[in-house]
Amino acid sequence: MERAVPHAVPLGQMEVFQTLQRLHMTIFSQSVSPCGKFLAAGNNYGQIAVFSLSAALSSEAKEESKKPVVTFQAHDGPVYSMVSTDRHLLSAGDGEVKAWLWAEILKKGCKELWRRQPPYRTSLEVPEINALLLVPKENSLILAGGDCQLHAMDLETGAFTRALRGHTDYIHCLALRERSPEVLSGGEDGAVRLWDLRTAKEVQTIEVYKHEECSRPHNGRWIGCLATDSDWMVCGGGPALTLWHLRSSTPTTIFPMRAPQKHVTFYQDLILSAGQGRCVNQWQLSGELKAQVPGSSPGLLSLSLNQQPAAPECKVLTAAGNSCRVDVFTNLGYRAFSLSF
Amino acid sequence: MSSESSKKRKPKVIRSDGAPAEGKRNRSDTEQEGKYYSEEAEVDLRDPGRDYELYKYTCQELQRLMAEIQDLKSRGGKDVAVEIEDRRIQSCVHFMTLKKLNRLAHIRLKKGRDQTHEAKQKVDAYHLQLQNLLYEVMHLQKEITKCLEFKSKHEEIDLVSLEEFYKEAPPDISKAEVTMGDPHQQTLARLDWELEQRKRLAEKYRECLSNKEKILKEIEVKKEYLSSLQPRLNSIMQASLPVQEYLFMPFDQAHKQYETARHLPPPLYVLFVQATAYGQACDKTLSVAIEGSVDEAKALFKPPEDSQDDESDSDAEEEQTTKRRRPTLGVQLDDKRKEMLKRHPLSVMLDLKCKDDSVLHLTFYYLMNLNIMTVKAKVTTATELITPISAGDLLSPDSVLSCLYPGDHGKKTPNPANQYQFDKVGILTLRDYVLDLGHPYLWVQKLGGLHFPKEQPQHTVIADHSLSASHMETTMKLLKTRVQSRLALHKQFASLEHGIVPVTSDCQYLFPAKVVSRLVKWVTIAHEDYMELHFTKDIVEAGLAGDTNLYYMALVERGTAKLQAAVVLNPGYSSIPPIFQLCLNWKGEKTNSNDDNIRAMESEVNVCYKELCGPRPSHQLLTNQLQRLCVLLDVYLETESHDDSVEGPKEFPQEKMCLRLFRGPSRMKPFKYNHPQGFFSHR
């Protein structure tokens, strides 16, 4: 197949450097604003870009609408995780969590509202924070990452209330089980652990790699993604993407996806997953692949569903990963367009 | 009857006054003496009225007699004849009367005419007199008016005004007492004074003329003196040449250069002037010279008649030689092309000497019909260079100066007006002729002061000194950096082809002491081959792989692992970094599309290149990148997690000190080397 080769533009040093940066950019995290109209994305250079979803989705959208409204340097290291409260955007990467006001974030030169660092044991290397989880009932934030612990931080006071230890290797992902409330964490050590927040104790452990149906030793044992729906949990990573029944700790459905998955979420009656490979996969609970929608990045790391009630016209699925682009799916059937850093 | 005829006298016409009348009186006197019957005298006596009555009566009688004769004749008889005879005789008598009357009438007529004539003559004479007199009067009047209008010449002279006259004129001329009263005398006096003044001035004028002659002569003398001085000065300068050389002050040489420079076309002249100025002021390593034939340059400006003669001669010659074969259309077009691409016979040579004694020779040409400048480059080094195979293009004259400024590839003519000229002679692009004519880079035009604005093509572009001056320093610096970086690469390539990555001692700190992966291959690949590789598509799509770049393939090996690296070397190395794209063959094929760590390795080399630049002028960038690639491969292979299901030890035991093996959601390997502690960590 002959491709039209783009004409090589005469590039000065600055342009070449910027092009190379964009080629090697990875977007790790996304978060939707409380009004539902904006999407923040964090990349491996520590930058956060805020896109206007309403402008990009409107009928007069031009090429500039697909560019960020504002981009700023948030962290020194990559921004691995972001969540939004009803007023703040919380971002975390290299050992610190910072808060930004959504109302202020569109202005140039925005400064963080506050920054906190959980108490780490080691001082040789600052561990990264891979996952942030909001617990609305307690108004607290759970952080987990490189130091193999879950830290709970009270959002009002900013104090670190608890540290949950149990993982033997760093933690990849967190999920909240609303009912109890319990927190699930998946880590590099291949185990999914359930923690009770009130007692600060580990309630249940599922070592996924020990189950033959889903383990894939050649990929490793690490758990890259977690999602839970009270009684059910789906997790994936090195082992295959599997649906578990939590009370009995048994794998009920194994999704036949060879590539390791990096992000999984429940949506209506489907399970959406994405990982190595271009596509966003849609699974039925029975384990059948309903659809595979290709995106524009060679690998995906994060999915975000904009379900904010305030902006129903911006109800889209956005996917980002190993590129400088965020794919926007207006309906789950195809990729509508891509926002770009 | 005879008496009648003798009585007839033909009246003679009187032609003039007087004289014939006298002649006639003489005759009439003689006639009177002979007692002739003068009918003229009788005329005076008879009364014309009565003669007229007589005439009428005679006519009636004749008519009556004729009528009676008619009657008698018609009656006939014997008596008739006698009566007819009687009446005949009567009619004859009447006829005679008529004749006399006729004569008298003629005579009267004649007399009347004569009298009229005389009177007329008199009147005419008076008339003539009157005319003469009138004419004289008129003439005299004219004369009078002429006299009255006469302007004497003296009134045309602008005389000095009265007051001045009385002031200045000496009293013997002005004679105030006389002249005051008498305007005539006054005027005379004034004229006198005028004459006096003029004489004096004429005198002065003669004096001045003679002075001028004298001075002219003096000037001539001095000129000769000076012109005799010139050859002497020349001989002194000639004699001083060895002294100049001895003291390293080649004034004479510079002077000769300036002489030749006068024949340079304007852009080359601007370049020459600016380069010389720059060389003298800022950069002693720059030397400027002019090459080419001055005579040919002068020949370009021959006056048109000469050249037409030459043309006709040459045409005649041409006709003779090509009578047999008419030149084909292609040959004619070829000639036209050659004509269009003609170079000016003079060219400017710049020699830039670099620190390591290598020299960049630049020869600048001017294409007269296209109004652009081109340059040919050559690099010579102090020591002979053995060119490694992969370094073939680095110093080639065609590409060594490519893209000195971003995008300035020198394959297209910078003058937009040239396109129309090319269309006429069928030249598609200047690219085909670039090897022969030199490259028309944009910076070359700027150095020659030629500015071609992209918006509107101008008809005439004049060479501008300020444009040249503003670009001179930057361009010279860029040229030097370019040559030195190319030479450095040249040396490095020689080493790379032997599998050794030459890392200088001041860059050693960037890498751990022990590097196991080895570079086994370093070759050039063609642009098309690069585009065909499956793992370079991102770079191609981003527009970073143009045809002005140089492409290489490096192969790094360790054990069973083979890492292919496709390298894009931008002509603007080392300010623009080389770009690496990797493909690892070890337990399957891993590229940046299916392995995040390969992507991270590429990022380490491409994006974090600034750490690898080394000390300025950062010629070590490429070699440092290659060395880092080897280190990255080491880390990658050693930190690969062991697959529990496969039996046997790890192929690559971990020797590198790492704090953590994986970090972050993408499970990155620790690629960052920390100096001097010597361990690997994550960015």
When pLDDT is averaged across residues B158-170 and rounded to a whole number, the result is 77
| Interface contact flag, A125 B542, Cβ < 8 Å | no
Is B598 in the A-facing interface, judged by CB distances under 8 Å? no
Q: How many residues does chain A have?
A: 341
Our CA-based measurement puts residue A310 at a distance from the nearest CA of chain B, in whole angstroms, of 31
Bridge partners of residue B590, in order along the sequence: B584
pLDDT digit string, tens, across residues A159-191: 888 888 888 888 999 999 887 788 999 998 889
What CA–CA distance (Å, rounded) separates B221 from B586? 100
What CA–CA distance (Å, rounded) separates B365 from B360? 16
From chain A, pick out residues whose CB is under 8 angstroms from the CB of B542: 6, 19, 22-23
From chain A, pick out residues whose CB is under 8 angstroms from the CB of B403: 10
What's the pLDDT band for B201 if we cut at 50, 70, 90?
very high
Interface residue ranges in chain A relative to chain B, Cβ cutoff 8 Å: 5-13, 15-17, 19-24, 26, 28, 77-78, 80, 124-125, 128, 130, 146, 170, 172-173, 188, 217-218, 220, 222, 224, 262, 276, 298-299, 301, 322
Q: Which amino acid is at B334?
A: D
From chain A, pick out residues whose CB is under 8 angstroms from the CB of B547: 8
Instruction: Among A13, A28, A322, select the one facing B576 at the smallest CB separation.
Output: A13
Torsion of CA B304, B371, B397, B550, to 10 degrees: -160
Tell me the residues of chain B between 605 and 664 that have a Cβ less than 8 Å away from chain A.
Answer: 606-607, 641, 643-646, 659-660, 662-664
Q: Do A106 and A97 form a contact (C-beta atoms < 8 A)? A: no
Instruction: Among A80, A124, A125, select the one facing B665 at the smallest CB separation.
Output: A80
What CA–CA distance (Å, rounded) separates B587 from A295? 27
When pLDDT is averaged across residues B218-245 and rounded to a whole number, the result is 88
What CA–CA distance (Å, rounded) separates B665 from B657? 22
Q: What is the pLDDT of residue B513?
A: 84
Is B474 in the A-facing interface, judged by CB distances under 8 Å? no
- CB-neighbour burial class of residue B85 (10 A; exposed 0-12, middle 13-18, buried 19+): exposed
Torsion of CA A7, A10, A16, A19, to 10 degrees: -30
B180, pLDDT greater than 80: no
User: In angstroms, what CA-CA distances link B116 with B14, B15, B123, B426, B519?
Assistant: 11, 13, 10, 109, 156
What phi-psi label fits residue A158: left (phi over 0), alpha (psi between -120 and 50 degrees) or beta? Answer: left
* B601: nearest CA partner in chain A: A24
A220-229, A272-281, B112-121, B301-310: least confident range: B301-310
| Interface contact flag, B606 A23, Cβ < 8 Å | yes
What's the pLDDT band for B307 if we cut at 50, 70, 90?
very low
* A224: nearest CA partner in chain B: B665
User: In angstroms, what CA-CA distances link B485 with B383, B388, B492, B576?
Assistant: 17, 16, 10, 12
User: In angstroms, what CA-CA distances link A182 with A171, A193, A237, A252, B257?
Assistant: 16, 10, 22, 21, 91
Residue in the block written with tokens 């020349």: B234
What CA–CA distance (Å, rounded) separates B626 from B503? 9
| Interface contact flag, A125 B603, Cβ < 8 Å | no
Q: What is the pLDDT of residue B565?
A: 92
**Of the segments B63-67, B259-263, B464-468, which one has the largest average pLDDT value?**
B63-67
CB atoms within 10 A of CB A260: 22
What's the pLDDT band for B120 if we cut at 50, 70, 90?
very high
- What is the greatest pairwise CA distance in chain B? 211
| Interface contact flag, B592 A128, Cβ < 8 Å | no
Phi and psi, residue B180, nearest 5°: -55, -40
Q: What is the pLDDT of residue B575?
A: 81
Bridge partners of residue A300, in order along the sequence: A321
Is B1 in the A-facing interface, judged by CB distances under 8 Å? no
B234-248, B530-544, B577-591: least confident range: B234-248
Q: What is the mean pLDDT of chain B?
A: 81
A155 compared with B134, residue with greater pLDDT: B134
pLDDT digit string, tens, across residues B502-512: 888 888 888 88
Q: Do A238 and A222 form a contact (C-beta atoms < 8 A)? A: yes
What's the pLDDT band for B20 if we cut at 50, 70, 90?
very low
A147, pLDDT greater than 90: no
Is B456 in the A-facing interface, judged by CB distances under 8 Å? no
| Interface contact flag, A125 B546, Cβ < 8 Å | no
Is B263 in the A-facing interface, judged by CB distances under 8 Å? no
pLDDT digit string, tens, across residues A26-80: 999 999 999 888 999 999 999 999 999 888 888 887 888 888 988 989 898 899 9
Torsion of CA B631, B636, B641, B647, to 10 degrees: -90
Our CA-based measurement puts residue A308 at a distance from the nearest CA of chain B, in whole angstroms, of 26
| Interface contact flag, B667 A222, Cβ < 8 Å | yes
A165-179, B12-26, B139-153, B515-529: least confident range: B12-26
From chain A, pick out residues whose CB is under 8 angstroms from the CB of B590: none
| Interface contact flag, B570 A218, Cβ < 8 Å | no
Instruction: Among A20, A78, A217, select the one facing B645 at the smallest CB separation.
Output: A217
Give which of A130, A125, A121 is closest to A92, Cα–Cα.
A130
| Interface contact flag, A24 B602, Cβ < 8 Å | yes
What CA–CA distance (Å, rounded) separates B234 from B240? 10
When pLDDT is averaged across residues B232-249 and rounded to a whole number, the result is 80
Give me the total of CB pairs closer than 8 Å, taking one residue from chain A and one from chain B: 112
CB atoms within 10 A of CB A132: 22
Predicted complex ipTM: 0.89
| Interface contact flag, B593 A299, Cβ < 8 Å | yes
Task: Give the H or E element holding residue B632.
Answer: helix B621-638
What's the pLDDT band for B113 if we cut at 50, 70, 90?
very high
Our CA-based measurement puts residue B598 at a distance from the nearest CA of chain A, in whole angstroms, of 11
* A13: nearest CA partner in chain B: B576
Instruction: Among A9, A12, A21, select the one facing B543 at the smallest CB separation.
Output: A9
Our CA-based measurement puts residue B635 at a distance from the nearest CA of chain A, in whole angstroms, of 18
Q: Do B410 and B434 form a contact (C-beta atoms < 8 A)? A: yes
